[in-house]
């Protein structure tokens, strides 16, 4: 508790001396020191309240009393590794199985989403006997070395693309090569994956898996056209590979209409592997990977056990069960649908109202919001699920104020002209930014 009374400047100095500069802070020019959280709010050392639109990890709200109590009560009794028989892990696996297609019936528990994706890669390679992976451009799947290699978002700034990694275009119908006016963008983008596979096979490569977030997140909150994933799965499976749905950021009812984002593709679409993390434990380090009996048996056939010291420990599973309880009792999936629809409607009104949308920052208005996408020009809403209609209204009002102020500044700049000697024309300032260059996407 002593750290709570330490001056912000002292904390920042200690961090700069003791932590790597690659471990970056939000708002680095003026970091926020957060000492408490509750629901959809965070509080700094001065007691100032911030509306949290960033933390999808605190899925059902910061310090939710039901989740905190579940962790506390189990901690009082037992926390040990998963090699002992215990009810929590099987209870949790059974509860998760009720949310997934029946084919996805085998569960592996881990400590982070990165571990889940790494294990998915191992299972895919063991099942198929192949090495190569197809991913979407700008994707990010985790911080382990194996996952940096399949994350264009990262590897393009590091060692470059490995020969066993093949990158397909984002199925982006807003900025991509096949847009909303295309007669069949799903098929067109799926054919791009088919072409990537064919090119790899011509070089003697064999595909183990296609990895994709069910709603590409770091890539800019892309909503794939309906039918895209189903067609990609056909191409991948025909090549002998597996389809891995990364639900680490978008699962657990966050999209509102369905519990899992891959279910937007329809009831008949079933990935071969689904990975989970972040929201699964409301901030507690727990993750999971679900797969089919066939894929799991191929992994078991190696004779090498899979052991994760604290993956699926009693406390983690108690927390996971509590998160599922809160989602159900507080009807947060339906809540996400209602609030999301409200926010989308009002943001659409902003789009119609404001001819310019630029780099928007809301921290000064006590709203914490992040950006994403290849150009860092996507406002990304990923608040706790308890984010309310009033919160949404507040964010839209502040955004309206900021955009109005920006437009007034742009208009004032347009009246300025640089005077030149006689005979040479005055130069007007550059025109306003393309009205479509900044998107507003909602991941509620």
pLDDT at 414: 58
Which residues lie across from 41 on neighbouring strands?
Answer: 38, 51
pLDDT one-digit tens code per residue, 141-185: 999 999 999 999 999 888 889 999 999 999 999 889 999 999 999
Reply yes or no on whether the pLDDT at 364 is more than 70: no
Reply yes or no on whether the pLDDT at 433 is more than 80: no
Q: Which of 341, 337, 278, 342 is nearest to 54 (CA)?
A: 278
pLDDT at 415: 54
Query: Under a CB-based contact definition with an 8 Å cutoff, are residues 161 and 167 in contact?
Result: yes
pLDDT at 429: 41
pLDDT at 345: 87
Which residues lie across from 62 on neighbouring strands?
Answer: 39
Q: Is the pTM of this model over 0.75?
A: yes
Largest CA distance in the chain: 89
pLDDT one-digit tens code per residue, 37-90: 999 999 999 999 999 998 889 999 999 999 999 999 999 999 999 999 999 999
Quote the distance between the C-alpha of residue 428 and its chain's center. 42
Determine which of 101-105, 333-337, 376-380 has the lowest per-residue pLDDT on average.
Answer: 376-380
Q: Which long-range contacts (CB under 8 A, 24 or more apart) does 3-11 make?
A: 4/35, 4/45, 8/33, 8/45
How many beta carbons lie within 10 A of that of residue 247, not counting itself?
A: 30
**The tokens of 60 are what?**
């059902």
More confident residue, 18 or 379: 18
**SS3 sequence of 388-433:** CHHHHHHHHHHHHHHHHHHHHHHHHHHCCCECCCCCCCCECCCCCC
Q: Which domains does the chain have, with CATH numbers?
A: 2-60+330-427+435-442 (3.90.1150.10), 65-329 (3.40.640.10)
In 3-state terms the chain splits into helix, strand, coil percentages (rounded to 5) of 40, 15, 45
Reply yes or no on whether the pLDDT at 411 is more than 80: no
Give 424's pLDDT tier (boundaries 50, 70, 90): very low
Mode of pairing for the β-strands spanning 273-276 and 287-291: antiparallel
pLDDT one-digit tens code per residue, 228-244: 999 999 999 999 999 99
**The tokens of 48 are what?**
């100032």
pLDDT at 412: 74
CA distances from 439 to 152, 174, 348, 363 (A): 21, 10, 10, 19
Reply yes or no on whether the pLDDT at 323 is more than 90: yes
> In 266-331, where does DSSP find H-type helix?
293-300, 314-329
Dihedral pair phi/psi, residue 289, rounded to 5°: -130, 130
pLDDT one-digit tens code per residue, 247-272: 999 999 999 999 999 999 999 999 99
pLDDT one-digit tens code per residue, 180-208: 999 999 999 999 999 999 999 999 999 99
Mean pLDDT of the chain: 89
Beta strands of 254-400 (E only): which ranges? Answer: 273-276, 287-291, 367-368, 370-372, 378-381
3-state secondary structure of 363: helix
pLDDT one-digit tens code per residue, 270-311: 999 999 999 999 999 999 999 999 999 999 999 999 989 999
Instruction: Compute the average pLDDT of residues 354-363.
Output: 52
């Amino acid at each position: 508790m002593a750290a709570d009374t330490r001056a912000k400047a002292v904390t920042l100095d200690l961090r700069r001396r003791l932590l790597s500069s690659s471990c970056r802070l939000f708002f680095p020019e003026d970091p926020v020191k957060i000492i408490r959280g509750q629901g959809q709010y965070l509080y700094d050392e001065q007691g100032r309240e911030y509306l949290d639109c960033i933390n999808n990890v605190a899925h059902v709200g910061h310090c939710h009393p039901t989740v905190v109590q579940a962790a506390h009560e189990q901690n009082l009794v037992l926390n040990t590794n998963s090699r002992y028989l215990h009810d929590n892990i099987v209870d949790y696996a059974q509860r998760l199985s009720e949310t997934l297609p029946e084919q996805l019936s085998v569960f592996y528990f881990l400590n982070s989403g990165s571990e889940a994706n790494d294990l998915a890669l191992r299972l895919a390679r063991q099942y198929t006997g192949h090495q190569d992976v197809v991913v979407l451009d700008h994707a990010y799947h985790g911080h382990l070395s194996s996952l940096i290699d399949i994350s264009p978002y990262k590897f393009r700034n590091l060692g470059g693309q490995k020969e066993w990694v093949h990158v397909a275009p984002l199925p982006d119908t807003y900025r991509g090569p096949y847009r909303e006016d295309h007669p069949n963008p799903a098929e067109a983008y799926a054919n791009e994956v088919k072409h990537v596979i064919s090119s790899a096979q011509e070089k003697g490569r064999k595909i183990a898996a296609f990895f994709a977030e069910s709603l590409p997140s770091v890539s800019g909150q892309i909503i794939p056209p309906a039918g895209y994933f189903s067609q990609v799965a056909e191409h991948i499976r025909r090549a002998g590979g597996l389809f891995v749905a990364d639900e680490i950021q978008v699962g657990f009812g966050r999209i509102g209409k369905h519990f899992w984002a891959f279910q937007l593709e329809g009831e008949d679409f079933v990935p071969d592997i689904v990975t989970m993390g972040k929201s699964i434990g409301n901030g507690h380090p727990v993750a999971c990977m679900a797969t089919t009996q066939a894929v799991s048996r191929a992994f078991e056939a190696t004779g090498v056990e899979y052991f994760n010291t604290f993956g699926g420990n009693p406390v983690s599973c108690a927390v996971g069960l509590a998160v599922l309880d809160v989602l159900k009792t507080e009807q947060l999936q339906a809540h996400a649908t209602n609030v999301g629809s409200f926010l989308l409607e009002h943001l659409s009104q902003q789009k119609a109202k404001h001819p310019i949308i630029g780099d928007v920052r809301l921290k000064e208005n006590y709203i914490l919001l992040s950006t994403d996408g290849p150009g860092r020009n996507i406002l990304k809403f990923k608040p706790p699920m308890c984010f309310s209609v009033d919160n949404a209204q507040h964010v839209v009002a502040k955004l309206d104020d900021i955009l109005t102020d920006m437009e007034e500044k742009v208009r004032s700049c347009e009246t300025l002209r640089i005077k030149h000697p006689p005979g040479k024309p005055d130069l007007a300032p550059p025109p306003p930014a393309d009205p479509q260059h900044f998107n507003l996407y909602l991941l509620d």
